Structure 1
């Protein structure tokens, strides 16, 4: 891989590095408009650094060169697609791998899920998705209980008290994910606090230390990271062994244990789900509540739907599909926040978009953050407007981008369920209010995260 000894490049670049690490390099010329490499070794890496994030770099790239544009990542040609029409044309047979999972496992040093052949990859993917679906069905009351506990806490606050969304919703996410993934041993705060400490060290160093080379230069940080990773792996292996002896089949790890996966593969899949599931669910919930706090009209419309569908009852798994406006709110949250601004695929065979030929072994970037706010696809793209998803064209575009339908990543589907339970429970009882003068800035990483803590206040519904 490239030597990433360049400071402050966004976490998303690691996705590119991880994918490129797995495949041989290519320096084939292309007639696709775009940037020439500014450095023989690093390509346009410094240009990305100067823009502050890969997303901002792609915004500028497509403004200058159109919806199909190219740049160089080291000595590798990269093609970026920045409109719905071009993404619709791009046919890549590599649908068996998930770029997020590939990236994360590569950075963690996990190779048991790589190189096993297409059939093995498809089999593991099905087991993984089945494990998530099963745990939602078997443990929905636990999710509801955790959410109701948080909402009850907020109800006890005085109306003027400022509530830190990021901190509270990360805690909610971690309590939910650990119990649903690993079982009742995580019902206590002590276990969750220990998990959170190691989770934060691992996630932080993957996003920072590996990228700028600083992890290798600091024996203290490297030791802390390796200790956290070792403790997390040991904990996951221990939980799996205990669950196997107990013979229960209720949570995520139990479904994995019923498959033919090895002990190591089970640990790796538990690591990916607990790491990624926490971050995606926490950020989806944070952005959703933030946007709701900016619009009393949207809150009232959502409240009316909850009254019509649920009445005074709590939400249930079978009622969630009936909450169409709630789904629109979450779709618009993902779109407006650009929750996952970039995806990537390797061009396994020569392809074509418009008149442009994409050479074999080219890395193709889906500039989702650009597409999600493209005025040709979305009217008033910077406005939070859940009503736009009443239109079939908007729903089709969203599905094409992989945010709904069969191509949705399992962690995002899980996050949608967590967020639906949270919104359903909270909006039935409380109103959200935005703090005046608060400006939300985004860190455009692999998952869009508020740059700083964001605050709201709540008041009880009369």
Structure 2
């Protein structure tokens, strides 16, 4: 899976925690330009709060100090990289450890599979990727069915009725991920509703409290989180027990059960995939449909590509790689929405970026949101323009950041597949329209999420 591009704020928070608790304090930033600590105890935390989000803080930091900049988290120096050139110098494409899995499991309090060495890490990574690929192959007709049900609902709406994107596409993602990952038990709506309740309780607290200790200060919040996590773990263990030894091997969990993983490891990998898969799939689909509603030209290009590649046949897994403009639209959706704006790594050994020495055990932030809208890398960076990905330089930069190619994580590839099915089904049958006067804003979360009152209207194609 991706070393640096998924659920970025989680990386930052947990890595900061690891630095603070596991390593002695350091007061040297090796001369890297940046901010002095505003407060001795909190460093620049109040500056981050004042900016409204870590992404906005980093955008301001790099605007002031350039592509390599520093600030303070508590008593620890942090280095942030804010351009493609600097990230290219720092990223290690041969890394075998998985920052996303390691950090998310650390946040959840999981330990299994985190210290088995490089060989075990490679084997676990291949197993995880194979499980995702097998799940899509075995369940593609089911995915088509779920999307057709949603589009059928949209088709039944009067022309000017507002369609709530977040509610509908979050619901689709929850149904798709649970049924494909955990099997037919989740064709029962009551199971999905229970899963969603616990998922939202867990996800709403991930990352909270590590900057200000707020969850630890609220016994009610902590009890609610721990109860939801325990209930989710019980459900996942029950699913694994029910499916173990059965002949049908169609779900993500089935592939894990066929390996030599322990029951605990199966549960943890299932937790990681369902938590990550639901959130990133939902938000990729929401942003993509929203951006399509702003451009009739892009919708028509997608419609024409469907005619050229598929004719009257439905979309199929083997045809998706031929839908190149669809890929461009999804790439541009990720870029424009800054889908995962921040990531981080702990500097394992002393490193160098440009003339700057980065000391061992320094927290290094990848300011992906800044890079994705850097005018030196992207022309007209705030414009939604899928055609930019016809250029080789744009594709290479995007791949370097971990959003496409072999370095893209399985959850993101899963989300791209679901989003392609959604978009192909929608643009074949409907035209999408903006709601006049609507201003779509993103919430500052682990993944860029439009606010709940994001709407479109639809009309049937003639």
Q: TM-score range by the shorter chain?
A: over 0.9
Q: Distance in 1 between matches of 2:237 and 2:299?
A: 43
Q: 2:16 aligns with which of 10, 13, 20?
A: 20
Q: Distance in 2 between matches of 1:92 and 1:76?
A: 23
Q: Distance in 1 between matches of 2:221 and 2:401?
A: 38
Give how far 1:123 is off: 2.1
Match in the other structure for 2:285: 285
* 3-state SS of paired residue (1:126): helix
* 3-state SS of paired residue (1:77): strand
Matched, 1:48 2:48: yes
C-alpha change, 1:263 and 1:348, in structure 2 (3 Å) is same
Give how far 1:307 is off: 0.9
Q: Distance in 2 between matches of 1:368 and 1:287?
A: 18
Q: Distance in 2 between matches of 1:260 and 1:38?
A: 50
Q: Distance in 1 between matches of 2:439 and 2:247?
A: 50
Q: Distance in 1 between matches of 2:124 and 2:438?
A: 44
Q: Distance in 1 between matches of 2:94 and 2:259?
A: 24
Match in the other structure for 1:412: 412
Give how far 1:28 is off: 5.0
Give how far 1:326 is off: 0.4
Match in the other structure for 1:217: 217
Give how far 1:42 is off: 2.0
* 3-state SS of paired residue (2:185): helix
Match in the other structure for 1:294: 294
Give how far 1:12 is off: 5.6
* 3-state SS of paired residue (2:314): coil
C-alpha change, 1:266 and 1:125, in structure 2 (3 Å) is same
Matched, 1:268 2:264: no
Match in the other structure for 1:60: 60
User: Can you list the C-alpha shifts for 1:76-95, whole angstroms capped at 9, x where unaligned?
Assistant: 22111111111111144772
Match in the other structure for 1:84: 84
C-alpha change, 1:160 and 1:93, in structure 2 (3 Å) is closer
Match in the other structure for 1:8: none
* 3-state SS of paired residue (1:161): coil
Stretch moving more, 27-36 or 90-99: 90-99
Aligned residues: 452
* 3-state SS of paired residue (1:402): coil
Stretch moving more, 101-110 or 156-165: 101-110
Matched, 1:248 2:248: yes
Matched, 1:180 2:207: no
* 3-state SS of paired residue (1:37): coil
Give how far 1:15 is off: 2.6
CA contact (8 A) 1:352 1:358 kept: yes
Match in the other structure for 2:309: 309
* 3-state SS of paired residue (1:149): helix
Give how far 1:163 is off: 0.5
Give how far 1:208 is off: 3.4
CA contact (8 A) 2:8 2:344 kept: no
Q: CA RMSD in A?
A: 1.6
Give how far 1:259 is off: 1.0
Stretch moving more, 352-361 or 145-154: 352-361
Give how far 1:13 is off: 4.8
* 3-state SS of paired residue (1:191): helix
Matches within 5 A, 1:98-109: 98-109=98-109
User: Can you list the C-alpha shifts for 1:242-267, whole angstroms capped at 9, x where unaligned?
Assistant: 11032432110011011111100110
Stretch moving more, 442-451 or 18-27: 18-27
User: Can you list the C-alpha shifts for 1:108-164, whole angstroms capped at 9, x where unaligned?
Assistant: 111113233232222222211111111111111111110011011111111111100
Match in the other structure for 1:232: 232
Q: Distance in 2 between matches of 1:334 and 1:444?
A: 15
CA contact (8 A) 1:83 1:374 kept: yes
Match in the other structure for 1:171: 171
CA contact (8 A) 1:45 1:74 kept: yes
Match in the other structure for 1:423: 423
Match in the other structure for 1:389: 389
Q: Distance in 2 between matches of 1:94 and 1:234?
A: 36
* 3-state SS of paired residue (1:428): helix
Stretch moving more, 37-46 or 247-256: 37-46
TM-score, normalised via structure 1 length: 0.94
Q: Distance in 1 between matches of 2:49 and 2:220?
A: 26
Stretch moving more, 204-213 or 150-159: 204-213
C-alpha change, 1:296 and 1:37, in structure 2 (3 Å) is same
Q: Distance in 2 between matches of 1:456 and 1:27?
A: 51
Give how far 1:177 is off: 0.2
Give how far 1:210 is off: 5.3
CA contact (8 A) 1:19 1:102 kept: no
Q: Distance in 2 between matches of 1:435 and 1:216?
A: 41
Could you tell me which runs of 5 or more consecutive residues in structure 1 were left unpaired when the two chains were aligned.
1-10
Specify which structure has the bigger relative contact order, considering alpha-carbon pairs within 8 angstroms and separated by 6 or more residues: 2
Give how far 1:56 is off: 0.3
Match in the other structure for 2:74: 74
Match in the other structure for 1:7: none
Match in the other structure for 2:191: 191
Give how far 1:333 is off: 0.2
